[in-house]
Chain A
């Protein structure tokens, strides 16, 4: 039993189809070329639509849902939150002087803090700097704020930078990449098994979405959740589905994972919030 626990705790590395010494830029080229070859008719913009970009059988009902999107009230809630001053009289605009259309600035490498800063983390750090309690990271008000900000940012293009010559940024990127290609959990699966190797195949009735563009449409209103959820909530769900322990939302592990996965999606348009099954 001890042995089993140790086994499940450790993530076993899968042979990565990219050389270990490759630069982020050459990783990106190999990654995107793989998906363009696998789905030759899917445009970069379409890759932001997850499984609906490649599955005609679910596309139609999804388009119908997007006509009257279930996340609309949350965008409004987010806008109200954005405009409501903190107890000290300041607002989010004091932390984000360029306004709510911030999506393109995150996740970014914070060289001084030697860490990846996501938009959700920046929202909570803004609150704390102004004497407010941080919000929960997976759903609720924070997801609504992110939905408003994402909506205001629609049409921006993912453009993540791993600063050249910054060894710490490179290490965070590599950490996220290793996470993505590592087998984990009792079921022994990596993210790449489902979303790279077998993207486009069916797991039971569900078509597996391609990893390219996976970070573009968040937060997401999922019918299964009946509410909005953040990207890290989904990371946790996908970890638990292979019977691995999920990491905390906004843990260094998930922020590095988001950094890697976002970088792989450079060039795809931000189109959040969006709806999913």
Chain B
């Protein structure tokens, strides 16, 4: 009984951490931006979340918080991937105004839920 209760509590806590009230809205918006073919269209190249028929040009976007503890670095990859890799095929979403600064922040919030 106690065991089941603590498991529930744990699930609740993890849930709270993953979609904390601070980020929930922004991360939801970010997911929409990331999946939308006319906006981020990240699924064209990346497996991410529950997105359908993802491409496999870029690496799967998983465990983002563990792999990118530095938010600025993650944001910079999206703003202009050619800084880190001049040959990158990944679109320079910020530099070429494909996404707005706010949309990029939302996408980063979403990535941190993955």
> A-side interface residues toward B, CB under 8 Å?
4, 7-8, 14-15, 186-189, 193-194, 197-198, 201-205
Contact = CB atoms under 8 A, between A and B. Distances in A.
11 contacts: A14-B87, A186-B97, A187-B98, A188-B91, A189-B91, A197-B87, A197-B89, A198-B57, A201-B57, A202-B55, A203-B44
Contact of A198 (B53, B54, B89, B98): B89
B53 A205 contact: yes
A48 B105 CA distance: 44
B104 to A, nearest CB: 15
A4 B97 contact: yes
B48 interface: no
A187 B99 CA distance: 11
A199 B57 CA distance: 9
Contacts of A4: 96-97
A201 B45 CA distance: 9
B87 A201 contact: no
B86 interface: yes
B55 A203 contact: yes
Given A194-B89, A198-B89, 7 more contacts: A188-B82, A189-B89, A193-B89, A201-B57, A202-B56, A203-B45, A203-B57
A222 to B, nearest CB: 19
B92 interface: yes
A204 B87 contact: no
A210 to B, nearest CB: 15
Chain B: interface size category: 10 to 19
Given A201-B55, A201-B57, A202-B55, A188 B92 contact: yes
B27 interface: no
B96 A202 contact: no
Contacts of B96: 4, 7-8, 186-188
Nearest to B37: A204
B34 interface: no
Interface in B41-93: 43-45, 53-57, 82, 86-87, 89, 91-92
Enumerate the 6 nearest inter-chain pairs by beta-carbon distance, A residue then B residue, closest first: A205-B53, A202-B55, A193-B89, A201-B57, A203-B55, A202-B56
Contacts of B98: 186-187
A274 B43 CA distance: 30
A204 B46 CA distance: 8
Contacts of A14: 87
A85 B82 CA distance: 57
B17 to A, nearest CB: 31
Contacts of A194: 89
Given A186-B96, A186-B98, A201 B56 contact: yes
Interface string B87-114: 1010110001110000000000000000
